[in-house]
A and B are shown apart, each in its own frame.
Chain A
Amino acid sequence: MAATAESSQQLPASQRVVIIGAGIVGNSLAYHLTRLGQTEITLLDKGPLPNPGGSTGHASNFIFPVDHSKEMTFLTLESMRQYKELGVFTRSGGIEIARTEERLQEFTRRMASAQSWGIEPVSLLTPDEVKGLVPFIDETLILGGFYTPGAGVVDSLRAATIMRERAAEAGLTVSANTEVLGIDVAGGSVQRVRTTRGEIDAERVVICCGAWSPRLARMAGATIPLTPMVHQMIDIGPVPRFANAKGMIEHPIVRDMDTNMYERQEGTGLEIGSYAHRPITLDPDDIPSIEEAALTPTELPFTQKDFDPQMEIALELMPEIVGDESVGVKYAINGVLSVTLDGMPLIGESAQVRGLWSAAAIWIKEGPGAGKTVAELMVRGESEIDVFESNVARAYPCQRTAAHIKARASEGFNKMYGIVHPAEQWESDRGVRRSPFYERERALGAFCFEAVGWERPQWYESNAHLLEEYGDRVTRREAEWESRWWSPIINAEHLAMRDRAAMVDLTAFAVFDITGPGALDAVQRVAMRQMDVTIGRVVYTPILTPGGGFKADLTIMRLDDDVFRVVTGGAYGMSDLKWFADRLPDDGSAQLHDQTSSWCTLGLWGPRARDILGSVTHDDISHEGFPFARCRTIEVGALSVLASRISYVGDLGWELYVPIEQGARLWDIIAEAGAPYGVLPAGIGVYGTTGRLEKCYRAYGMELEGDFNVVEAGMAWGRVKDEHFIGKEAHVRHREEEPAATMCTLTVDDHTSSSGVKRYMLGNEPVLTRAGAPITDRKGRRSYVTSAGAGPSIGKHILMSYLPPEHAVLGEQLAVEYMGERYPVTVEVVGSTPIFDPENTRVRA
């Protein structure tokens, strides 16, 4: 029975879920929750229905599916599927046009991404072919196009309405014109929502309020790290050429990528939109109320001056239409949309308040897919599309501040259609987190990348002299694209580490302790591997989702009977911390303590590592006295150091942990002691890429993610522990079935392009048969390069990829498409055996 709460009716006193915001996201979430059998759900909006006045009401509503981000593409594809099912999708095709050679090259990357994510057909067009599809374009201004015939336009308000009506039939309560006044929190959990029409006790509250979301989160004492930003658009018309247009759209949408603009026909008009103007951020409190807004609250007064250059550009590109004196500017707004710290949405439960969920910074093209995903996360604890990059919990406190978000959103805004290098670094608000080694590193000419706020050396200019030492063994990159954000010094540092020893700053690790009488049970329940180990063991373990996919991979040190120290990569450290914190026993017998800002970490690896460390400690660090996968506190000079004998680079050595204020001393001791042995600082270029790839070590977010399981990743060694752990049933099942794909390591046979320049893949490229056919496993997943990088010690470029059984064969000859050309590659490893030092003699020396 449909339940629409009119102003005369009472809101329900208590609900399982209260959804705030009835745009495309809130309605979609309500619909998918009811589809999953959920009841006692109320959907609120302060505005009227069907258009409550948020961004859904004014969005341009077109969808281009191809994106370099797999996660974003999958959300978009799922959304398109739903829009089609709802009958609100109109296929128009879409053309991205290039005005520069660099953009043409970018289009070959888009072709590759389309293949990697399974979007076909797509094609490259000549200017004349573009003209054939868009007769009113001046084709002399462009060099070519990237055509997506499947692109189209949706009616997002209609979609939202249909989903709301379907959900209402399944019991959803809808209350429009109901403003939220407060969200009460007690004991760290959401309690109730207070509205202009009364209070609702709620187990979970989901904020789906687009640009207003930060304001709602603040009511609960939490942060949703996005900022409202202005996106300008105008409608001109009536266009004589479109006089007989029947539907919403008949001509392909044009994205003028190099000018950050788009033009699309809509009925008898042409809409021109821009991401080219100066970044204009707003405070959510600056968005007018519905009553005060001249149009809707998210259609702000147009600022003509900001748009003048865009008018000139559009006039030039489409003179027949835009230059027509009879065609008037009928509508012009500064539309409000949501932009985040890193361009990805904000999905999931807040790390700050239990029961408070975010489904924000989601645009029309991702809306229904995101709604479905949030519903699955709420009901099942995992989603069909792994949205680890969108996890709202990913942001560290210093990344959630208004100033940081504003800086990053402003920097990212003009890159909306940009050619963004996979390793591209942010320029704004840098240097927030500095390890105690930072001053030393700077003095050594460290070239820093940023990792979740940390400045982290990628390589050191002080090592440039090694280039001479290693000569031809260090590959130089001739093409500008893959030498961007890269240096051959990385490969030289790698070789020197393999020959001597290297110091690596790993302070960006997230570190947290699980303590208390229930600690063992707590980690045992979350970790796949056996955690009931002797004190001083270090366990590398996958962390699984209930469905047996990867949630994380990390190491856990048992420091005492009831003390476990979890060390995980910085990038997803906060997501991992939340995963553990959410699964602590209810009885309070175990606690989690975040130690990230307490400890710094210095890695020391290489054949001389023991000599170096041995020269500054009296403790027994012999192989027998300090075996692999053990950790122990030792004295290093005057410092008490927690040493952990593991390695992500495949050489003998330790991770050395000291309290952060003693870090500089540790660096000095090791650097001084190491000097006679030729120790050198090495950057993350070695640690994260060359060292690990030679050892075929997987990385979370690259090889390891929710889409793949432990067996497919080739990590199902040893027996399954008897104790229960999350994902165990699924994991046992995965062990019994033949994997649909297996992680393989490939090397490139020939790098030479048709122009004779050697090219080096960077990751995400499609893996094809030698004949050029895409490879798809029985679960429908395409094979693509999950990681790519140099293997200086083996003298080859290394690629990792999941391959279905028929191709996961040693010596199998395949191809990889890169920048519009195919390169021959060969499967070197099936499973997890390292290419370099397959017997692991170095690590266990």
Chain B
Amino acid sequence: MNVLICVKRVPLTGGKIVLTEDEQAISTRHLGFTISPHEECGVEEAVRLIEAGGGSSTVLTLGPPEAEEQLRDMMAIGVDRAVHLVTDGGEWDPQATAAAIVDVIRSEGERYDLILFGNESADAGNFQVAIRVAHALGLPCVTGVKGLSVDGGSVRLEQEVAGGRDVYVVPMPAVVTVKEGLNLPRYPSVPGRLRAKRKPLATSTPARPDPRLEMVRLVLPPGSGKQAEVLGHGAEAAPAVVGVLRELGLL
């Protein structure tokens, strides 16, 4: 089978988030880059499916030239090939992003049995691209998936809902958005890293349509960043710790 996993290059945040002066983006002066944890699970799932059943996996991104780094990272995990839709670094809205992805899928002859996405991107969080792609291609789409198994021409999907899981069985080809917890992604091995350098990566430069969704500005929620409160030292800190545990409902 052929599996496509779509990912997005996003800043690897860990500390206090700082915005650029125009409030249009996160300042990445001190930051590395990654993909969202949902997407990491999608990549791991794609690799496992191919390892188990044969076929080929492809990772796709729409992003700046530097996003090649994320494509190589994913190929280091075991994805076979990559498609890079190179942008000038500006953010594309979900409609434009979905259209560009659809163009690729069509141009490749709609050969994918499974098209995976993260449930949402780590930065913009529009929750739209996968659904728009499914709609354009006329494919079934299940979102928020935390369990996935392929059985012949169909795929069984478990969607997390309050109080339990909804289970769907849909025919392939299908579009699926996955969530963190679907699996435990592996670390790349050194040989994997080195192989990734030589794996095929196709690039193209789609034209950016006029955006229909425009971001006005970013605003930091209050209280973001690392927050640590020293509760005390030694035994005298114990009552405060108990208080916190109570507050969290753990006692």
B189–A324 CB distance below 8 A: yes
Q: Which residues from 2 to 20 on chain B have a C-beta closer than 8 Å to any C-beta of chain A?
A: 12-16, 18
Chain B CB within 8 A of A196 CB: no
Looking at the assembled complex, report how far the CB atom of B99 sits from the nearest CB atom of chain A, in whole angstroms: 31
Looking at the assembled complex, report how far the CB atom of A214 sits from the nearest CB atom of chain B, in whole angstroms: 18
Segment of B128-136, B157-165, B191-199 engaged in the interface with chain A: B191-199
Task: Name the CB-closest residue of B to A312.
Answer: B194
Task: Name the CB-closest residue of A to B224.
Answer: A291
A308–B194 CB distance below 8 A: yes
Q: Which residues from 206 to 251 on chain B have a C-beta closer than 8 Å to any C-beta of chain A?
A: 225-226, 228, 230
B14–A325 CB distance below 8 A: no
Chain A CB within 8 A of B123 CB: no
Cβ contacts A284-318/B at 8 Å (1 or 0 each): 00101111111100001110110010011011000
Q: In the complex the two chains form, what is the Cα distance from A329 to B193 in whole Å?
A: 9
B15–A293 CB distance below 8 A: yes
A288–B15 CB distance below 8 A: yes
B15–A290 CB distance below 8 A: yes
Looking at the assembled complex, report how far the CB atom of B51 sits from the nearest CB atom of chain A, in whole angstroms: 11
Selected contact of B15 from candidates A291, A311, A314, A326, CB within 8 Å: A291
Selected contact of A304 from candidates B15, B31, B72, B186, CB within 8 Å: B72
Cβ contacts B63-94/A at 8 Å (1 or 0 each): 00000010011000000000000000000000
Chain B CB within 8 A of A236 CB: yes
Cβ contacts A428-457/B at 8 Å (1 or 0 each): 000000000000000000000000000000
Looking at the assembled complex, report how far the CB atom of A305 sits from the nearest CB atom of chain B, in whole angstroms: 8
B contact residues around A6 at 8 Å (CB): 230
Which one of B12, B186, B191 has the highest number of Cβ atoms from chain A below 10 Å of its Cβ? B191
Selected contact of A311 from candidates B18, B73, B194, CB within 8 Å: B194
A contact residues around B189 at 8 Å (CB): 236, 324-329
Cβ contacts A262-300/B at 8 Å (1 or 0 each): 000000000000000000000000101111111100001
Chain B CB within 8 A of A127 CB: no
Task: Name the CB-closest residue of A to B72.
Answer: A304
> When A288-B15, A294-B15 are in contact, do A311 and B32 touch as well, CB less than 8 Å?
no
Chain B CB within 8 A of A323 CB: yes
> When A288-B15, A293-B14, A304-B72 are in contact, do A311 and B193 touch as well, CB less than 8 Å?
yes
> When A288-B30, A329-B187, A330-B187 are in contact, do A294 and B193 touch as well, CB less than 8 Å?
no
B186–A301 CB distance below 8 A: no
Interface residues on B, range: 20 to 34
Looking at the assembled complex, report how far the CB atom of A321 sits from the nearest CB atom of chain B, in whole angstroms: 9
Chain B CB within 8 A of A322 CB: yes
Q: In the complex the two chains form, what is the Cα distance from A325 to B191 in whole Å?
A: 7
Task: Name the CB-closest residue of A to B192.
Answer: A325
Q: In the complex the two chains form, what is the Cα distance from A304 to B70 in whole Å?
A: 11
Q: In the complex the two chains form, what is the Cα distance from A327 to B12 in whole Å?
A: 23
Q: Which residues from 678 to 725 on chain A have a C-beta closer than 8 Å to any C-beta of chain B?
A: none
Interface residues on A, range: 20 to 34
A contact residues around B191 at 8 Å (CB): 315, 322-323, 325
Q: In the complex the two chains form, what is the Cα distance from A236 to B193 in whole Å?
A: 12
Chain A CB within 8 A of B52 CB: no
Looking at the assembled complex, report how far the CB atom of B222 sits from the nearest CB atom of chain A, in whole angstroms: 15
Chain B CB within 8 A of A48 CB: yes
Task: Name the CB-closest residue of A to B17.
Answer: A292
> When A288-B15, A304-B69, A304-B72 are in contact, do A294 and B190 touch as well, CB less than 8 Å?
no
A contact residues around B194 at 8 Å (CB): 308, 311-312, 315
B contact residues around A305 at 8 Å (CB): 69
Q: In the complex the two chains form, what is the Cα distance from A7 to B225 in whole Å?
A: 20
> When A291-B226, A294-B32, A304-B69 are in contact, do A236 and B190 touch as well, CB less than 8 Å?
yes
Chain A CB within 8 A of B171 CB: no
Q: In the complex the two chains form, what is the Cα distance from A48 to B12 in whole Å?
A: 22
Chain A CB within 8 A of B188 CB: yes
B contact residues around A312 at 8 Å (CB): 194
B32–A328 CB distance below 8 A: no
Q: In the complex the two chains form, what is the Cα distance from A300 to B12 in whole Å?
A: 11
Looking at the assembled complex, report how far the CB atom of B36 sits from the nearest CB atom of chain A, in whole angstroms: 15
Looking at the assembled complex, report how far the CB atom of B5 sits from the nearest CB atom of chain A, in whole angstroms: 19
Task: Name the CB-closest residue of B to A328.
Answer: B187
B contact residues around A330 at 8 Å (CB): 187
B190–A300 CB distance below 8 A: no
A291–B190 CB distance below 8 A: no
B228–A322 CB distance below 8 A: no
B contact residues around A291 at 8 Å (CB): 15-16, 225-226
Looking at the assembled complex, report how far the CB atom of A393 sits from the nearest CB atom of chain B, in whole angstroms: 33
Q: In the complex the two chains form, what is the Cα distance from A6 to B69 in whole Å?
A: 44
B contact residues around A329 at 8 Å (CB): 187-190, 193
Which one of A322, A328, A329, A330 has the highest number of Cβ atoms from chain B below 10 Å of its Cβ? A328
A contact residues around B187 at 8 Å (CB): 328-330
Selected contact of A294 from candidates B13, B73, B186, B188, CB within 8 Å: B13
B contact residues around A328 at 8 Å (CB): 186-189
B14–A323 CB distance below 8 A: no
A contact residues around B192 at 8 Å (CB): 325
Q: In the complex the two chains form, what is the Cα distance from A588 to B29 in whole Å?
A: 50
Q: In the complex the two chains form, what is the Cα distance from A300 to B28 in whole Å?
A: 12
B contact residues around A290 at 8 Å (CB): 15, 226
Cβ contacts A795-816/B at 8 Å (1 or 0 each): 0000000000000000000000
A292–B32 CB distance below 8 A: no
B contact residues around A324 at 8 Å (CB): 189
Q: In the complex the two chains form, what is the Cα distance from A7 to B12 in whole Å?
A: 31
Task: Name the CB-closest residue of A to B33.
Answer: A301
A301–B31 CB distance below 8 A: yes
Selected contact of B30 from candidates A300, A311, A325, CB within 8 Å: A300
Q: In the complex the two chains form, what is the Cα distance from A48 to B227 in whole Å?
A: 12
Q: In the complex the two chains form, what is the Cα distance from A139 to B13 in whole Å?
A: 42
Q: In the complex the two chains form, what is the Cα distance from A7 to B229 in whole Å?
A: 11
Q: In the complex the two chains form, what is the Cα distance from A330 to B189 in whole Å?
A: 9
Looking at the assembled complex, report how far the CB atom of B17 sits from the nearest CB atom of chain A, in whole angstroms: 8
Looking at the assembled complex, report how far the CB atom of B77 sits from the nearest CB atom of chain A, in whole angstroms: 10
Selected contact of B12 from candidates A236, A301, A308, CB within 8 Å: A301
Selected contact of A308 from candidates B33, B73, B197, CB within 8 Å: B197
Looking at the assembled complex, report how far the CB atom of A174 sits from the nearest CB atom of chain B, in whole angstroms: 12
Q: In the complex the two chains form, what is the Cα distance from A290 to B225 in whole Å?
A: 10
B69–A311 CB distance below 8 A: no
Cβ contacts B105-134/A at 8 Å (1 or 0 each): 000000000000000000000000000000
Known: A292-B15, A325-B189. 11 other contacts (CB 8 A): A288-B15, A291-B16, A293-B30, A294-B13, A301-B12, A301-B30, A301-B31, A301-B33, A308-B194, A311-B193, A326-B189
B: which residues have CB within 8 A of A? 12-16, 18, 29-33, 69, 72-73, 186-194, 197, 225-226, 228, 230
A-B contact pairs, 24 of them (CB 8 A): A7-B230, A236-B189, A286-B30, A289-B15, A290-B226, A291-B16, A292-B15, A292-B30, A293-B30, A294-B12, A294-B13, A294-B15, A295-B14, A301-B12, A301-B31, A304-B69, A308-B194, A311-B190, A314-B190, A324-B189, A328-B187, A328-B188, A329-B187, A329-B190
A: which residues have CB within 8 A of B? 6-7, 48, 236, 286, 288-295, 300-302, 304-305, 308, 311-312, 314-315, 322-330
Of all A-B residue pairs in the complex, the 8 with the closest CB atoms, nearest first, are A328-B187, A301-B32, A294-B14, A288-B30, A291-B16, A292-B15, A325-B189, A322-B190
